[in-house]
Amino acid sequence: MTQSEFGRFSEFIGNQCGIKMPLSKKVMLEARLQKRLRTLGIKTFAEYYEFVIGDGEHKELVHMLDAVTTNKTDFFREPGHFQYLTDHVLPEYVEERERNGQRDRPFLIWSAGCSTGEEPYTLAMVLSEFAEKNSGFRFTILATDLSMRVLNRAKDAIYDAERLADVPIALKQKYLLRSRDRSQSKVRIVPALRSTVQFQRLNLMEEAFTFAEPLDVIFCRNVIIYFDRQTQEQLITRFCRTLKPEGHLFLGHSESIHGFDLPLRRLVSTVYRKTS
Ligand SMILES: C[S@@+](CC[C@H](N)C(=O)[O-])C[C@H]1O[C@@H](n2cnc3c(N)ncnc32)[C@H](O)[C@@H]1O
């Protein structure tokens, strides 16, 4: 891939999904796209570029974006966030619901950039545990990602057992099924928990993502770190529009919105609340 070809890909990817592609990522991009060239029988990157932009149905674009995303994730990643939900956000929600008499409305939470599902399934475990102790508490988890490859894995909900090391044993016993074939150390999330999460492909760069109802909480962790500052600010502005007044936003631990002009106040590190 020549430097000018890389420049064209980099600009195109930035416009499509917000992900920054500095020159230091050239070798990585080449290696990842090479697989698509082989699959399609295309000889050069220049030809592949023309193929992607000429594909009106955007089928190849989906594959290309699959190849450029970084999907590292874990169950109970950044565990303080889940504790914060249980200790502060959920009890306050229940109290407010009682006060306003809105008993029928489910708690709505969005895992934006959910990767292979570990984050939304962790939320599902935490919220199910809370529901057991708080009768009448109901919730819906929306989980979205740009990459179809990771979404398909999330929907399958099958994981290597060793990836669940950070899940407390009581939750493992309740929410995971061991593979019948004991030689394969695989586990699967139980159907009841799987049914609490709705997966969908959604590109966060799309101007108008809308939800039928304002959301109580957005988890968007370890996603905006790949975007430039301007894209980050525009995206979080749109998050604020989809949150209910006093709704919460959780970001990843290395992500900062310091210096942005947003209707958010910081509660603790990386946890924000929309100002009413
Ligand atoms: C590093 S993973 C983070 C997963 C999880 N939130 C966590 O913290 O463990 C980042 C995810 O963001 C997704 N992503 C990147 N750009 C996106 C975009 N424009 N729209 C939607 N998802 C995007 C990637 O596909 C990837 O799965």
Q: For 262-274, what is each residue's pLDDT tens digit?
A: 999 999 999 999 9
Other CB atoms within a 10 A radius of the CB of residue 165 amount to: 10
Q: Which portions of the chain are predicted below pLDDT 70?
A: none
- For residues 276 and 263, give the distance between their C-alpha atoms in angstroms, rounded to a whole number: 8
- Does 166 qualify as catalytic in the annotation? no
Residue intervals in the chain for CATH 3.40.50.150: 80-274
Q: Which atom of ligand 1 is nearest to the CA of 147?
A: 25
Residue intervals in the chain for CATH 1.10.155.10: 3-68
- For residues 140 and 108, give the distance between their C-alpha atoms in angstroms, rounded to a whole number: 5
DSSP state of 140: E
Average pLDDT, the chain: 94
Q: Whole-model pTM?
A: 0.95
Instruction: Mention every residue, 6+ apart, whose C-beta is less than 8 A from residue 129.
Output: 86, 171
Q: Give residue 23's pLDDT.
A: 94
Whether residue 122 has its Cβ less than 6 Å from ligand 1: no
Whether residue 203 has its Cβ less than 6 Å from ligand 1: yes
- Does 273 qualify as catalytic in the annotation? no
Instruction: Mention every residue, 6+ apart, whose C-beta is less than 8 A from residue 262.
Output: 233, 236, 237, 240
Class of domain 3-68: mainly alpha
* Residue to mutate, 16, 69, 75, 82, ligand 1, most ligand atoms under 8 Å from C-beta: 69
Whether residue 69 has its Cβ less than 6 Å from ligand 1: yes
Identify the architecture of domain 80-274 in CATH. Answer: 3-Layer(aba) Sandwich (3.40)
Q: Give residue 183's pLDDT.
A: 74
Q: Give residue 219's pLDDT.
A: 98
Whether residue 70 has its Cβ less than 6 Å from ligand 1: yes
Q: Which atom of ligand 1 is nearest to the CA of 66?
A: 25
Q: For 219-236, what is each residue's pLDDT tens digit?
A: 999 999 999 999 999 999
Task: Render the burial of 239-261: b for 16+ CB within 10 Å, e for the rest.
Answer: bbebbeeebbbbbbeebbbeeee
Q: Give residue 116's pLDDT.
A: 98
> What's the start-to-end Cα distance of the chain, in Å?
50
